[in-house]
Structure 1
């Protein structure tokens, strides 16, 4: 079946659902709607007209709607709270994990936080307040409180019964966390070990004690790296005295990595990182954040123009030199930006061996720069000869390309390291900023070689 046929079938299926809502056919709606994946359910609901959305309380149970509610963005969640009945939305929130509600309270713009708190049960309210008490973008702020805790003295048979009873309330059941009566983390029991071990065995004899955990104050990017490096589905979050407070799951990490990647891409365009976090920045805010970097680039551009003025006599001697300026600057900028991207990635990965890894990256970039420069200059030399360009000009351009590529690779690798030392986000050194620096470097190399060689003639 082609992708077009799949699209048509899906749209036809959605149309049947919309007709069932229009006709108040609850039985047909539930039969069609509940067969969809959670994400597709959200898509169907999102496309309903507002007056039709109000019917959802008559068509779905609060538990069923809670699944859709989790998929919504904060704006839609706020709207749902406003147009659905107080009792219905109160039940919906009771089925949601604390981290989802905490995010809603933190991001909400049209609903007061106390309005949402009033809809929560006391125990759930306390969990949400705890999550919001931690510093933003730390393990404590992004963790979920719904995890399965078991006693080291329980038998595996008892644990299996416990999982069957409480598992649907947890963020994940693949790991069970072994805690003492004071909530200290003693170990972890995987679902694999639970199923494959004898039922009469005690948890303390099967649990894994060399587990990986993260402190509650750890930055979310560091948490993401821990989960990636150890190939975990979730990681426990602990206090300084080893008391377990929650878990960070793999799907939360994926969201974090996507967010950080988006921020880095925006920074690579020369826009400050904070701009990536604004939903709808005003014209004034956008200008305020971008202007300082544009001013810096203007002054750097003046330096590049100054270089051309300094070597104007060289250009007047051989007018054809100007034809190759875009080639020199463009090639250098491309190589430098590639090297910078690799170094910024290594800096973001962090780790105990970051110093050694960064040094190795610089050496690798220099080595690849020499090799790329050598190949590029040889190819360029051959092409210019075929085009019957003067030999002296061919030599000048070929040698300049070689040296520009070598120096650009090293510059692109070193600049983010220097910026990091000065506590400046290395991502903002990308794009136009690094290109302007390398433009100046490439032109200086080009004109110095041209001046020296032409003087020898």
Structure 2
């Protein structure tokens, strides 16, 4: 199997397109099928409709399934419209069960049912069962293609089975051992199997301390467990211990990407609108609630400034430092928010470490405030010739940054207590909230020292 770099990809694409345009099926198959499926998808994306029609003719449904299951959902929906029902059914039948269930789950009910009706009974039952699990759980992302053994099997019997049947499993690096009730009782790596004596029983060489997850386990927790133990796959069981599937590391990578995109959308107040495929109107609808909420919070900021109008009138120079106070508070709070959300997401936050993490963020704010404050105490007297103004701004910034880090660290923890994604404490929300706090601190200090400003 060939893996392409940028230069060879362009050359391969040119040769493959030439083969298609010349209707040279043999040459096309020779060039195309030796590529990795990921490179096949990249080249396939360069074909126009008439060329894709020839691809469907030149490739068997089984071969095309490797390409189809690696495509993005929107592209899969478009491609399905170009295929006849028989080709679609055979293609989908050759996909891994979890990939097929994910695809069908994103279709309209009638569209999904039309496809399911063309699948054979065994496949249909398996797919429909996968689709019954709650979204974002281990059951929803697991695959049912795995290798299971019985404790009474011998090594030679298992080796013979693997050679003869070539099981259609996503991974056979791990072999899962079950009892007569199909309950998970052990696990065996392919390496241990190969290096064991042929007459040994599986129960004598298997590991019995099996790490597994329940079908209802949240997909983020599944990802954390696989990351923690460096697994390639993890078994999924029901409440009674029956083995029903496995979650593989490639599925976990998709979960991580999905969760990162979701958290990024939450933190930037663009949830749901980061997809480049949606229209401007759709993006505006998704962002509008956040923008409106932040706009109303901005009115609070304006109200605070209005309350201290007399202070600003007596010392107009103070108004020039407002953007700096607000910007510094917002930036510092967002940094603390990012640290805390990450710690929560990867499971680093626990009761023992929580207090230490908050103390660290507060200490960071104090140090940053001190550095900025000292800097301003030097610069402002030189530029504005007023030591009292320098003290007001420097001390205000010191207090603001100290408080802003605490706000940025505590709000996501408070939100998580209510079982809400802590990322909803978005950057713009924290920024606006810290703007209000920063202005309150700034003008309170300035008002108390106003009589000393010349």
TM-score normalised to structure 1 length:
0.91
Contact 2:337/2:427 (8 A) holds in 1: no
Q: Corresponding residue for 2:430?
A: 434
Counterpart pick for 1:302 among 299, 313, 317: 299
Q: Distance in 1 between matches of 2:418 and 2:407?
A: 17
Distance 1:164 1:386 in 2: 82
- Return the alpha-carbon distance in structure 2 between the equivalents of residues 110 and 243 of structure 1: 30
List per-residue Cα deviations over 1:73-101 (Å, max 9, x = no partner). Answer: 33443444443344443332332111122
Q: Which residue of 1 aligns with 2:175?
A: 176
Aligned to 1:330: 327
Post-superposition CA distance 1:44-83 (Å, at most 9, x none) = 2232121222222432233221211111233443444443
Matched-pair contact (CA < 8 Å) for 1:148–1:167: no
Q: Residue in 1 aligned with 2:403?
A: 407
Is 2:15 aligned against 1:19? no
CA spacing shift, 1:220–1:186, aligned 2, 3 Å: same
Q: Contact 1:346 / 1:357 at 8 angstroms: preserved in 2? A: no
What per-residue deviation string (whole Å, max 9, x for no partner) do you get for residues 342-387 of structure 1?
A: 1122333347x63333332211100111112112212222233443
Residues 337 and 172 of structure 1, relative CA distance in 2, 3 Å threshold: same
Q: CA deviation at 1:338?
A: 0.5
Between the aligned partners of 1:432 and 1:93, the Cα distance in structure 2 is 43
1:40 maps onto 2:36 in alignment: no
Encode CA deviations 1:248-285: one digit per residue, 9 max, x unaligned.
Answer: 111101101111110111111224x46668974783x6
Which residue of structure 2 aligns with residue 238 of structure 1? 237
Deviating more after overlay: 244-253 vs 369-378? 369-378
| Residues 21-420 of structure 1 aligned to structure 2 (within 5 Å) | 21-109=20-108, 112-271=111-270, 273=271, 280=278, 283=281, 289-350=286-347, 354-387=350-383, 389-420=385-416
Does the 8 Å CA contact 1:346/1:358 hold for their aligned counterparts?
A: no
Give the gaps of 5 or more residues in structure 1.
none
TM-score (norm 2): 0.92
SS at match of 2:45: helix
Per-residue deviation, 1:196: 2.9
Q: Distance in 2 between matches of 1:383 and 1:355?
A: 43
Worse overlay, 89-98 or 322-331: 89-98
Relative distance call for 1:75 and 1:321 in structure 2 (3 A) is closer
Query: 207-216 or 45-54, which moves further after superposition?
Result: 45-54
SS in 2 for 1:235: strand
Structure 2 residue runs of 5 or longer lacking an equivalent are none
